[in-house]
Structure 1
């Protein structure tokens, strides 16, 4: 097996496990590290087929502890989500095999099919991509699984939020007071829980690398946090990512685009604000961790300080909004 990247080398037990889940006469002939993920090591595997061709798979391995919970639980949830999404209206990878307890591999791992396309994080073309993202999230929330995933878990609290340097303390105190109240009642939906531009693949023509005209979504990946809860949670999470990547106005615009695409959010303004504010307050605890993969992907101007300033501006905009 040849490696495109020394770090992409697949460990022996894991490689043997992968090979056991290939068709007769197939074998892994190459591996390439995929960068940009924040919770696991990702590798694109090239598989040689019996007819002399190749096909691609993706291997996810949880090497280190995660903020989201035990690897075993995350892989069970991702495997269940991929099974639920098979043949539906959401373009997701197909499940090949999963070893959630590292019974066969060096680390807990999941093997899935590879989807074409790539994430697009550029400012250019966002006006075109935004409604595509909104329509895709509406389709995610329309999924009706035979077995519900676990109820969402909010890991952050009003007391763990971190006020950025230079922010208006009164604004942030008012924001944290919003989420001190009990969570509003909601109509449950199937949630991705990390739906954002880094987890959406676009198939782009060579002449339009930013997706300004001919963009189409070719895949939605990273389903390890799939949950059951209010659509507002996914919308708020994506809105916050867009606000930090592209500016606060884009976060506000995504909420509008989701509703324009047929999505339904909480009816009362105070209930919508609860979910909208909860997401950026959660981001405040880990700004440096959030910004790092964006810089690795080429958005070098998104320093920790720059992202903190956008986060503060977005929270201020949410608190200044009517209602």
Structure 2
């Protein structure tokens, strides 16, 4: 009888995993990884003879998420092949199911990286420094021929002040900035979803960076801004600013900071009223409320306006 643990993945998916790796393999266990909300991610332990190896299986459901389509797994597979060639600490893609017909989902199998997500570091300064160093490493990759360009998730010209805000005058300034001219920037390879829940650690060092679906060519400030936005919500503006200082230190003259990209990163997530990101609570982070997130977002917004 199949164990409850193994029932996390449908039998058809389990068979696909075994057939893709080694038809003689047996599944020892399946455990769900926490922290994501747009897909089901599991570790599958496969035994061949007396050897057990871990694989990561990511399942994107064909229904229920408007953005989920074959491009998701195709893009991530292409991006991971690229990042491995560039010696970035990313998983190795093994195979994908991009048709959605085999078991009703799009899926990928990749290698498992060592390490874990850390959201409550013992040494905040050292942790922020490591986050910044890892991001600089991504942005230093030569990727002039990379095929996918950056774009904003929001239609900036149509964006209006959210109904939940309290600082309407300051948000008016945000509107005038984001609907104004875009600053000149140097294109580089960007992760496009760089934040603490996508970074793995072993001890005090970054051991891996995951979730590469949205990688593209664009402004480094978007990656910096997206990470700062997450830090501001998790901890506050102080930590977001310290991360920026470390990033500037490690990037050197190749990076020219412009708070415009921080504002774009902020606006890009405001499709609905702010709430606590479920991935954080799944990973055991406590103490956040929707009201606190709103307050921190507005405080962060004011700190950005004051930089202009």
TM over 0.5: yes
Shift of 1:252: 1.8
Which deviates the most, 228-237 or 245-254? 245-254
Could you tell me which runs of 5 or more consecutive residues in structure 2 were left unpaired when the two chains were aligned.
none
Contact 2:132 2:246 in 1 (8 A): yes
CA distance in 2, matches of 1:29, 1:66: 31
Contact 2:143 2:217 in 1 (8 A): no
> What is the RMSD of the two structures over their aligned residues, measured on CA atoms?
2.3
Counterpart of 2:22 in structure 1 is 23
CA distance in 1, matches of 2:234, 2:160: 20
SS of equivalent to 2:27? strand
Q: Of 217, 223, 226, which aligns to 1:228?
A: 217
Contact 1:26 1:49 in 2 (8 A): yes
How many residue pairs are counted as aligned between the two chains? 306
CA distance in 2, matches of 1:162, 1:118: 37
Q: 1:113 to 1:2 in 2, by over 3 A?
A: farther
- Give runs of ≥4 in structure 1 deviating > 6 Å: none
Q: 1:250 to 1:161 in 2, by over 3 A?
A: farther
Q: Deviations over 1:228-272 (max 9, x none)?
A: 1111111110111111111012112222211101255664x7xx1
- The normalised TM-score by structure 1 is 0.87
Q: Say whether residues 1:33 and 2:32 are aligned partners.
A: yes
SS of equivalent to 2:149? coil
Contact 1:132 1:217 in 2 (8 A): yes
- The normalised TM-score by structure 2 is 0.91
CA distance in 2, matches of 1:290, 1:92: 27
Counterpart of 1:216 in structure 2 is 205
CA distance in 2, matches of 1:33, 1:3: 14
Q: Say whether residues 1:255 and 2:244 are aligned partners.
A: yes
Shift of 1:13: 2.4
Q: Say whether residues 1:155 and 2:156 are aligned partners.
A: no
Contact 1:2 1:31 in 2 (8 A): no
Contact 2:116 2:200 in 1 (8 A): yes
SS of equivalent to 2:91? coil
Could you tell me which runs of 5 or more consecutive residues in structure 1 were left unpaired when the two chains were aligned.
205-214
Contact 2:161 2:168 in 1 (8 A): no
Q: 1:66 to 1:193 in 2, by over 3 A?
A: farther
CA distance in 1, matches of 2:216, 2:164: 33
